[in-house]
Homo-oligomer: A and B are copies of this chain.
Amino acid sequence: MENFNFYSPTEFVFGKGRENECGEYVVKYGGSNVLLHYGSGSAVRSGLIDRVKASLEKSGVRYTELGGVQANPRDTLVYKGIDICRRDGVDFILAVGGGSVIDSAKAIAIGVPYDGDFWDFYTGKHADKALPVGTVLTIAAAGSEGSGDSVITKEDGMLKRGTGSDVLRPRFSVLDPALTQTLPAYQTACGATDIMAHVFERYFTNTREVEITDRLCEAVLMTMVKETPRVIADPDNYEARANIMWAGMVAHNNIVGVGREQDWNSHGIEHELSGLYDCAHGAGLAVIMPAWMEFVYKHDVMRFCQMATRVFGVKMNFADPETTALAGIKAFRTFLHSIGMPINFAELGAKEEDIPVLVEKLGLGDGETGGFVHLKSADVAEIYRIAVRAEL
């Protein structure tokens, strides 16, 4: 096990109806004048924003609204948010939505107290100061409600870049599983895929002797394998939604990933797909992650056998472990298909002839990535080609 720090100071406020308490939590964490940040309409139409406003008013908290966050949240709205916060003396940002809204809120939060361009933090600068952020989560997926990460897209050139700092961890996050019951099955499945991917990016490691985090990773994965089909079959299943929502937080606040080298190449390779085709991140991961697994499994067959047997209940073939490893990857892909995810380029709407462009945009050039298996541009191209050919 490697040395590590783990710090997750967010207060999680979990359960049915808890969004009605968000005013109290804003006050508890020092807010009196809030930027109420949200997306493009569903939170308004569902009445959620009204309930949040009522809670803020009840607690005597003033607010200014800024809606309109898009998927792959843009820098342009961040600049607008920073201006509003400075103009109105905002002291707390409340994000109501999914990962995009929360990421946008975090970007505004580091931009307000900074004299320069907030984009500096997305091109290498480390943030050590930010306005406090709280969240009311509406989809189990990105894990931004418990992480210190934020990903923003610069409209000029559609550059997607991330930043991370402990000052970006939300002060509190309201997780009400009932808010996710209205999500369409496709979005639910995309979220579930993202959650599983967050675990797999940590699971495949070259660090030895990490039994506790291996087991914690597998706990989240097995939960997703059990609970996701239940919400796809019955979107109103509160209990399954609740298990998935907490799993989504556990998957990404890093409690399952400490003390071990992590990978994250599938996320990078996927980002180019959602960048080029504007597809959902989770859908792109469903296509890329099993393809990545097929490309790298020979690097550590036993680790893939461990996944296959422990997570997917594959029987170990002691005479030919590679068949077990491959059966595990196949079980994962079959699972993704069963919850309605695309499993190859065609189903995603991606084109084989774009592979050179995708590889070019990833920008490895003659270099390579780090992680479980280091990848060069030619390797990435092969992973895309595996994803073209993938079948059940």
Contacts and interface: CB of A to CB of B under 8 A. Distances in A.
A177 B3 CA distance: 10
A239 B5 contact: no
A351 interface: no
A155 interface: no
A215 interface: yes
Interface string A3-45: 1111111111111101000000000000000000000000000
Interface string A204-239: 000011111101101110110011000000000001
Given A212-B247, A259-B242, A14 B5 contact: yes
A14 B8 contact: no
Given A7-B11, A216-B216, 20 more contacts: A1-B15, A3-B14, A4-B12, A4-B14, A5-B13, A5-B14, A7-B9, A14-B258, A208-B239, A209-B240, A209-B243, A211-B226, A211-B243, A212-B250, A213-B246, A215-B218, A215-B220, A216-B220, A218-B219, A219-B219
Contacts of A13: 5
Contacts of A115: none
24 contacts: A1-B15, A1-B242, A1-B243, A3-B14, A3-B15, A3-B16, A3-B18, A6-B12, A6-B14, A7-B9, A7-B12, A8-B9, A14-B258, A209-B242, A211-B226, A211-B227, A212-B220, A212-B243, A212-B246, A213-B246, A215-B223, A216-B219, A242-B259, A246-B259
Query: Which one of A211, A250, A258 has the highest number of Cβ atoms from chain B below 10 Å of its Cβ?
Result: A211
Contact of A219 (B10, B215, B239): B215
A5 B1 contact: no
Contacts of A1: 15, 177, 239, 242-243, 246
**7 shortest A-B CB distances, which residue pairs?**
A3-B15, A215-B219, A209-B239, A9-B9, A219-B219, A1-B242, A7-B11
A156 interface: no
A304 to B, nearest CB: 19
A5 B11 contact: yes
A376 to B, nearest CB: 32
A255 interface: yes
Interface string A101-143: 0000000000000000000000000000000000000000000
Contacts of A177: 1
Contacts of A11: 5-7, 9
A353 interface: no
A246 B12 CA distance: 21
A225 B330 CA distance: 30
A320 interface: no
A212 B223 contact: yes
A223 B209 CA distance: 11
A250 B219 CA distance: 13
Interface string A345-379: 00000000000000000000000000000000000
Q: Most chain-B Cβ atoms within 10 A of its Cβ — which of A1, A5, A11?
A: A1
Contact of A212 (B15, B209, B215, B219): B219
